[in-house]
C-alpha cells in the first residue's frame, strides 16, 4: 500500500512538473500549431452545404476553442484556467447540439434545443462547483470559522448547481407538454411541476 502511495505521489509530481515545465517558446509553438490545425479543419467544411456545413463549422470552432483553453491550462495551471476549459467544452458541445436541432421542425426542434440547453446548463453548473471546490481546497483556513465558510461556499455552489439543473430539466419536460393539447397538456405540465418542484 505504501509503495502504491509513493508511486502515485511521484506520478502526480511528474505530471505537475511537465505541465509547469512548458517554456514560453514551447507555448508559442503549440499555439501556432493550434492555429494551423484550425485552418486545416475549417477547410474540411468548405465543400459542405446547409446544416451539415453549420454543424461542421460549429465542431471545428469548438475544437479550436477547447485546444486554446487546454494549452493555456497546461501552460499556466490554475483553477480559473481549468474552469475556462470546462466552460469551453460545455459551450462547444452546446453549439454543436443546437446546430443539430436545426434538422428538426416544430415541437421536436423546440424540445431538442431545450435538451441541449439543459445539458449545457448542467455542464456549466458542474464546472462552477468544481471551481468552488478547488478554490476552497487551495485556500487553507486555519480557523474553524474559516473552514466553516469554505464548507458553506461549497454547499451553496452545489445547491445552486442542483437548482439550475432541475430548472433546465423542468423546461425540457414542459416543452414536451407543448406537443399535447387540452387536458392532456394541463396534466403533463402539472406532472412536470410536481416532479421538479416548480
Work out the angle at residue 76's Cα, subtended by the Cα atoms of residues 38 and 87, and round it to the nearest 5 degrees.
Answer: 60
pLDDT, one tens digit per residue, over 20-55 is 568 999 999 999 999 999 999 999 999 999 999 999
- What mean pLDDT, rounded, does the chain reach? 86
- Please give the model's pTM, rounded to 2 decimal places: 0.79
By three-state DSSP, how is residue 1 classified? coil
pLDDT, one tens digit per residue, over 105-157 is 999 999 999 999 999 999 999 999 999 888 887 665 544 455 578 888 888 98
By three-state DSSP, how is residue 49 classified? coil
Which H helix or E strand runs over 126?
helix 106-137
The mean pLDDT of 186-191, rounded to a whole number, is 95
Residue 14 is predicted with a pLDDT of 38
Top pLDDT among 84 and 16 is at 84
Nearest-10 crossing angle of helices 182-196, 144-177: 170
The mean pLDDT of 53-70, rounded to a whole number, is 97
In the chain, the percentage of residues whose pLDDT exceeds 90 is 73
Amino acid at each position: 500500500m505504501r509503495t502504491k502511495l509513493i508511486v502515485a505521489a511521484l506520478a502526480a509530481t511528474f505530471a505537475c512538473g511537465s505541465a509547469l515545465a512548458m517554456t514560453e517558446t514551447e507555448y508559442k509553438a503549440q499555439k501556432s500549431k493550434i492555429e494551423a490545425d484550425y485552418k486545416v479543419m475549417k477547410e474540411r467544411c468548405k465543400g459542405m452545404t446547409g446544416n451539415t456545413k453549420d454543424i461542421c463549422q460549429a465542431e471545428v470552432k469548438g475544437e479550436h476553442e477547447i485546444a486554446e483553453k487546454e494549452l493555456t491550462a497546461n501552460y499556466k495551471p490554475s483553477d480559473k484556467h481549468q474552469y475556462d476549459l470546462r466552460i469551453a467544452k460545455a459551450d462547444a458541445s452546446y453549439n454543436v447540439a443546437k446546430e443539430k436541432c436545426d434538422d428538426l421542425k416544430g415541437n421536436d426542434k423546440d424540445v431538442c434545443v431545450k435538451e441541449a440547453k439543459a445539458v449545457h446548463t448542467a455542464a456549466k453548473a458542474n464546472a462552477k462547483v468544481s471551481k468552488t471546490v478547488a478554490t476552497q481546497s487551495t485556500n487553507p483556513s486555519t480557523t474553524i470559522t474559516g473552514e466553516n465558510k469554505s464548507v458553506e461556499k461549497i454547499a451553496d455552489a452545489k445547491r445552486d448547481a442542483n437548482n439550475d439543473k432541475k430548472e433546465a430539466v423542468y423546461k425540457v419536460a414542459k416543452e414536451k407538454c407543448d406537443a399535447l393539447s387540452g387536458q392532456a397538456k394541463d396534466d403533463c405540465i402539472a406532472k412536470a411541476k410536481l416532479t421538479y418542484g416548480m
